[in-house]
Amino acid sequence: MVQVRFEDTSGGLDAAVASMFEAFGGGRGLLKSSRDVFLKVNGIDFKPHVYTSPEVVAAVVRYFQRQGARHVYVMENSTQGNFTRLVFDICGMKKVCDDTGAVPVYLDETAEIPMFLPGLESFVQIPDFIHEHLIRRRRENLYISIPKLKTHSMTTVT
């Protein structure tokens, strides 16, 4: 069952993030055997209001570091002809990674492998990073999506 939770941020982002994850059992309870955390942000572009708030991402990174995470990865595969590395640099996500020690993962720069989709009866290319960490070793790693409430041209697509 999918659960959605909203938090009041008037007491600060760190407190709101902690409260949110505590409601789901707390960071230590969410960490899996590798203690690695993979954060999927939205960053299709660097225009205002189309990417996940870097401040929220920083608060989530800090939270899981305090909870004992070994590595925290911040990943995205920008679309619409953008380079993720450039989007991260301009929107401030790279600075978040530099300041917190999180590892940026530019999925558009990783190698790809074919994956068969039975429902479509065809192959698609997916980043090998995703296959290795979030498919093959999914039971060992924690994956968290930190979406942006969609207000851009890809709203109905993503």
- Above pLDDT 70, what percent of the chain? 93
Per-residue pLDDT, 134: 94
The Cα–Cα gap between 50 and 131 comes to 26
Between residues 93 and 156, the one the model is more confident about: 93
Please determine, for residue 82, whether its predicted confidence score (pLDDT) is greater than 90. no
Burial label for 122, CB within 10 Å (0-12, 13-18, 19+), is exposed
Instruction: Please give the average per-residue pLDDT across 129-136, as a whole number.
Output: 94
* Cα separations in angstroms, 81 against 2, 44, 85, 86: 32, 9, 12, 11
Between residues 152 and 113, the one the model is more confident about: 113
* Cα separations in angstroms, 133 against 8, 47, 75, 86: 32, 30, 12, 24
Quote the pTM value: 0.90
Quickly name the fold that domain 33-146 has: Rossmann fold (3.40.50)
3-state SS class at 137: coil
In this structure, the number of other CB atoms found within 10 A of the CB of residue 86 comes to 14
Instruction: Please give the average per-residue pLDDT across 87-109, as a whole number.
Output: 97
Sign of dihedral through CA atoms 118, 119, 125, 128? negative
Tokens of 140: 């060992």
Domain ranges of the chain: 33-146
